Chains A and B, each alone.
Chain A
Amino acid sequence: MKYDLIVVGGGPAGLAAAKAAREAGLTRILILERDKELGGILNQCIHNGFGLHRFQEELTGPEYAGRYLAMLEGTGVETRLDTMVLEVTPDRRVCCINPRDGYREYEAASVVLAMGCRERTRGAIALPGSRCAGVFTAGAAQRFLNMEGYMVGRRVVILGSGDIGLIMARRMTLEGAQVLACVEVMPHPGGLTRNIVQCLEDFNIPLYLSHTITDIRGSGRVEQVTVAQVDENRTPVPGTERVFDCDTVLLSVGLIPENELTRQAGAQMDPRTGGAQVWENMETSIPGVFACGNVVHVHDLVDFVSAESERAGRAAAAFVQGSAGQAGPVLELQAGQGVRYTVPQKLRLSQVEKNAEVFFRVTRMFGPARVQVRSGEQVLARFARDRMAPGEMERIAVPRVLLDKADAEQALVVEVQEETP
């Protein structure tokens, strides 16, 4: 049987893409999810703060997922749970296994890749020390606490100030653990400001910026960690070491889009995002194969994942229905000064309706500044910002009428200009 659309991954991105594709008229849609339920990582995010943009309400993770599950109910969208996708081919065959059906191959007129991301590990940051138990990524700890009902430790030091680490600082505290410190190697926090306030400050958990863990000691479990200040090159400064007696280290040191299937399929990747390069409609370099959510670039807010993924779902429907626009001028986006990456990486002008939405992250903290979109010497658009932080994704909507003025021979540069007081 051939599907109109196969969605790989039933987390927030996959659910939103399937919903939008269904609303846009596709009927034979299949979601493949490796877990035993839909919702992805939202299921273990039992804290609130989801949905403020998308639903103008504050929801928990499972509630947010529930909204999308309710929207999919009765639509005929098929789901296979407990199913692992092993391969996606460039001609859109999807190979997967599960205990019931065994190894299967499905054909699809379009594919949406929505595999999400994974956490950076102790190895990824080459964190030295003993080979003891008690070192967890924050997300793994979150699963143990919120899904399985088990504590991973009693005295905790958190390395990294990513959002999951901050959330877990609060969660562990509420469960009776003592969180001794949150240690961040950068001079600015990695996570959202609201999480710094609500998860650390409200619980008197000290945040050490420009610090890192230099050693972990323990024969069975973790017994001690050494924390030191770092200089501007992120090198530990001798003499600044302080030792914490603890049994647990949680790591919240970044997320990596999970793109093994994407690479295997041969899609062009962007080394800056770790995700596939995408067009304005979230299509990868492989026609009919779309990607959305954290598999493309790591988001801070699920609300934006949903919005992006609904665009991908609508685009997949347009592709299948043959209503995708004709080729026209192509603009290549370039991350300029102060900008780490952009998504999308390329625009087909003919596909842009009123606005082209561009997501990006800044390279450092900015006070009052302007984001400008430049084609050669010509500045097409400017957007004022009071402050920008690397931990918070930025979004601009560039009007089509302005993009029409761009020179297709030149890269479209997105850059930050600091305002001089």
Chain B
Amino acid sequence: MYDCIIIGCGITGAAAAYRLARYRGRFAVLEKSNDVANATTKANSAIIHAGYDPAPGTQMARLNVEGNRQAAEICQKLNVPFRRTGSLVLAFSEEECRTLDELYRRGVENGVPDLALLSGAGARAVEPGLSDQVKAALYAPTAAVVNPWEYALAMAETAVKNGVELYLEHPVTAIRPVEGGYALTTPRGEFCARTVINAAGVHADQVESLIAPPGYRIHPVRGEYWLLDKSEGSRVRHVVFQCPNRQGKGVLVAPTVHGNLIVGPNAQPVEDREDVGCSAQGLAFVREKARKSVPGVRFGENIRNFAGLRATADTDDFLIGENPAAPGFFHLAGIKSPGLTAAPAIGLEAVRLLQEKGLALEEKADFDDTREHVVFRELSAEEKNRWIRRDPRYGRVICRCETVTEGEIVAAVHGVIPATTVNAVKRRCNAGMGRCQGGFCGPRVQAILARELGVDPTEVLMDGPGTQVLTGETKTGGGHNEV
């Protein structure tokens, strides 16, 4: 029997696993997808928020500010791209100026350091691309941008390296109480644990209802985005927000850690919890909103649109606690924005909940809190040559837009949490992430995956089940071309 099983390996489940991995005990993570970080965690604004938005006194406010502090340290230790850009919230009217005053007051109360209110001119001085309609701005220097899926992957990998068991493609389909805990059914077997942490994101209420009435409901809210080429990557230096509204933090324009520009999201409530498609209307709305902040954004430089689902619950705060009808069954639910920021702090909350429940958590002496990740293009010429001598595959560039080598792709396929799909490779080493979107490297990545996994190329998936890239062989047959 496991001491604790975490359901879901998005940023929240990964952070909980990372925090638990420091302690002795048997821990497992059950993830329904074939990769970690494969839902909301991979499709969001990628922002580490400063913490002036949430209402003072809420868990959200405290965990946001704490999570912001913890993120920098974790990203440095685990080699995750993180850049403290600072953020600006823009006001375009007198009413919005009053909103800024309120955000400033909240921020101070929440313990956000170094906030400053700027005039319109002051804002344009630090961010020249802003509209001349901007009347004022709230500057928060502690806001940052991060690679969200690598952040989750890094925490999950570190957990796995330290003994946490990760089971991909293990959706939990039934839960029943057993002596001293719970039994979780998956299509690949049953798992028993003394305690369970539900970190199932947009599916949290559905998962929880397998054991008891959850007491909350998730209403997914879709957000659509534009991701622009690196040629637009320096259009802004800060994360540029508009005033928040009831639906969320509004449309932002921000640099990414990869050097691109991200623009979005809108807020569209949806019924289907897998509906991450984009609509022409949604994208047009986002584009027009963004132009209000930064008129010069060249949307012709777009390289990809995507949408993500916010796991919004019918409460204003995060839902962190025990199900009253199921002792030892905890939820980390309703983790909408600023969930990415709060994740490591939420992970600590999970540990605290287990300790309060009487789980004796004893720290390991040999916890390995490091992660190596080679990004070939960032190496010096000497280092490049050292890697190529060690493994000549580092001398073969497969993805030319992002300068990703075969060595890096092979390393991703055989990593701590192996990449088994084209998109999983992309998330680990950026192959196919650039301006040609895999047009050139796609067939090559496909062939490397088939070779390294020992499967037929027609079996290689782009992403989830049913996403086969190829449908069969041509009349003359496949497999002529070696990678």
Contacts and interface: CB of A to CB of B under 8 A. Distances in A.
Given A123-B304, A143-B443, A220-B465, A103 B381 contact: yes
Contacts of A153: 471
Q: Interface size bucket, B side?
A: 35 or more
Nearest to A247: B471
Nearest to B386: A102
Nearest to B407: A99
Interface string B457-471: 110011111111111
Interface string B422-448: 000000000000011111101100010
Interface stretch (B106-114, B160-168, B182-190, B272-280): B272-280
Where chain A touches its partner, the secondary structure class is: mixed
B471 A220 contact: no
Given A147-B481, A148-B480, A133 B462 contact: yes
Given A131-B277, A144-B470, A126 B392 contact: no
Interface string B277-309: 111101100000000000000010011111100
Contacts of A173: none
A55 interface: no
Nearest to B397: A84
Contacts of A102: 384-385, 388-389, 395
A314 to B, nearest CB: 29
Given A99-B395, A128-B279, A152 B469 contact: yes
Most buried by A among B393, B437, B457: B437
B476 interface: yes
B478 interface: yes
Contacts of B57: none
Interface stretch (A114-122, A200-208, A276-284): A114-122
A122 B438 CA distance: 11
A383 interface: no
B439 A140 contact: yes
B358 interface: no
Given A86-B403, A144-B443, A221-B468, A151 B474 contact: yes
B480 A119 contact: no
A74 interface: no
B227 interface: yes
A123 B473 contact: no
Given A128-B277, A150-B458, A150-B472, A133 B384 contact: no
A147 B462 CA distance: 20
B447 A148 contact: yes
Contact of B306 (A84, A131, A214, A220): A131
Q: Which of A101, A144, A247 has the most CB of B within 10 A?
A: A144
A122 B437 contact: yes
A216 B458 CA distance: 22
B478 A126 contact: no
B389 A154 contact: no
B454 interface: no
A128 B475 contact: no
Nearest to A95: B381
Nearest to B469: A133
A98 interface: yes
A150 B403 contact: no
B457 A150 contact: yes
Interface string B108-129: 0000000000000000000000
A327 interface: no
A309 interface: no
Closest 4 CB pairs of A and B: A220-B466, A99-B392, A149-B478, A99-B395
Given A34-B397, A139-B439, 16 more contacts: A34-B400, A97-B397, A100-B392, A102-B389, A103-B385, A103-B395, A121-B303, A128-B278, A132-B467, A140-B442, A144-B470, A147-B481, A148-B480, A152-B471, A214-B280, A220-B468
Interface of B: 226-227, 274, 276-280, 282-283, 299, 302-307, 381, 384-385, 388-389, 392-397, 400-401, 403, 435-440, 442-443, 447, 457-458, 461-481
29 contacts: A34-B397, A84-B397, A99-B393, A100-B392, A100-B395, A119-B436, A121-B304, A123-B227, A123-B302, A123-B303, A123-B437, A128-B282, A129-B278, A131-B306, A133-B469, A145-B474, A148-B447, A148-B478, A148-B480, A149-B477, A149-B479, A149-B481, A150-B457, A150-B472, A151-B470, A151-B471, A152-B469, A176-B475, A247-B471
